[in-house]
Amino acid sequence: MITVLFAAPDRDWDEFSQALRDAFAAAELEVNLVGEADPLEVDYIVYAPTGWLKDFTPYTRLKGVQSLWAGVEKIVGNETLHAPLARMVDFGLREGMVEYCVGHVLRHHLGMDLDICRSDTNWAVHVPPLARDRSVTILGLGALGAAVAEALAALNFKVTGWSRRQKDLAGVRCLAGQEGLDEALRAGEIVVLLLPQTPETDNVLDAKRLALLPAGACIINPGRGPLIDDDALLAALGRGQVAHATLDVFRIEPLPKDHPFWAHPQVTVTPHIASDTRPASAARLVADNIGRSEAGLPMLHVVDRGAGY
């Protein structure tokens, strides 16, 4: 019998426990799924950073930790954790993110806010270019960024992507390195941030880099708040360098009520809902990964702690 500790908030237990039990049964794994346990008896931990578990020291027979989140910045530096840490990569998360990003790229591309927020009777005609004449830049070409880039390329957008290591994606101009970043930003009429939060990506959009964007660019950030220097963004919005920012993630969440983003006419705030972990699809990855580990195989999507993601 394998003991799996679910270390996430109570509301997640209500959502996930049955899906996990179903997935373990489908994978023919004999699992005792528990919300609390003697640490000495725990084989695997299903983890959310919003949960109660901070110190892994007592879990001496731990074989692996499966994060329910794709972003692991809150656990990757935890020095009490020595077992492999796997992050969440599944089709539900991917499809949710593709829908959020494609939706907001199309919204900015088509200038939909002009009509949705219209407060006058002005018959001013605004004709957007076709997608084939619109450049979109995706920062981060991982599990989510690559899927978003490919979905936008399939709609004919001119897509440029940037990652740490060189990528090769059909229909996407792939760039890497610091020079690649500058070039990607110069091309970015619409920029989507899907980078992880690491020391290297902190303030990746600072004042200097925001100044590289074409005048009137739009920014969509479902990655992490610290990727953008907030004050530099407010300044870029003020001078029209950036026409609009759609932000899903923030340095402090929930975004404080007095934060200038809330009332800013050129900022759309969404409350960290770009893509949620869906219990049914996520549970299949958890079961798959525990099954792999029990069979002596490495877990999938193990975090590179040196790189921080």
**Residues that bind ligand NAP in the complex, under the rule CB under 6 A:** 70-71, 89, 93, 97, 140-145, 163-165, 194-198, 200-201, 222-224, 248-249, 272, 274-275, 309
Going by C-alpha positions, the residue among 248, 208, 206 that lies closest to residue 229 is 206
Minimum distance from residue 159 beta carbon to ligand NAP (Å): 14
Q: How far apart, in Å, are the Cα atoms of 134 and each of 27, 131, 168?
A: 45, 5, 21
Q: What is the number of the residue whose Cβ is closest to ligand NAP?
A: 142
| Euclidean distance between CA atoms 117 and 282, whole angstroms | 37
- Tell me if residue 49 falls in helix, strand or coil: coil
Q: Which residues contact 138 (CB under 8 A, 6 or more apart)?
A: 145, 148, 149, 152, 159, 160, 161, 162, 172, 191, 192, 194
Minimum distance from residue 89 beta carbon to ligand NAP (Å): 6
Minimum distance from residue 217 beta carbon to ligand NAP (Å): 19
| Euclidean distance between CA atoms 251 and 73, whole angstroms | 12
> 42 or 88, CB closer to ligand NAP?
88
> 21 or 301, CB closer to ligand NAP?
301
Going by C-alpha positions, the residue among 111, 112, 70, 109 that lies closest to residue 87 is 70
> 109 or 224, CB closer to ligand NAP?
224
> 189 or 248, CB closer to ligand NAP?
248
Tokens representing 26 are: 């489908």
> 53 or 192, CB closer to ligand NAP?
192
- Given 108, 173, 209, 224, which residue is catalytic? 224
Helix, strand, coil share of the chain (percent; to 5): 35, 20, 45
Confirm whether 272 is a catalytic residue.
Answer: yes
- Given 272, 278, 301, 305, which residue is catalytic? 272
> 64 or 196, CB closer to ligand NAP?
196
Minimum distance from residue 141 beta carbon to ligand NAP (Å): 4
Minimum distance from residue 193 beta carbon to ligand NAP (Å): 8
Minimum distance from residue 169 beta carbon to ligand NAP (Å): 10
Minimum distance from residue 29 beta carbon to ligand NAP (Å): 25
Confirm whether 301 is a catalytic residue.
Answer: no
- Chain CA centroid to CA 234, Å: 22
Going by C-alpha positions, the residue among 267, 257, 194 that lies closest to residue 236 is 267
| Euclidean distance between CA atoms 84 and 66, whole angstroms | 8
Tokens representing 38 are: 């003697």
List of E strands, the chain:
2-7, 31-34, 44-47, 64-67, 85-86, 135-139, 158-163, 172-176, 190-193, 217-221, 242-247, 267-269
| Euclidean distance between CA atoms 234 and 266, whole angstroms | 9
202 C-beta neighbours (distance < 10 Å), count: 13
Active site amino acids: 224, 272
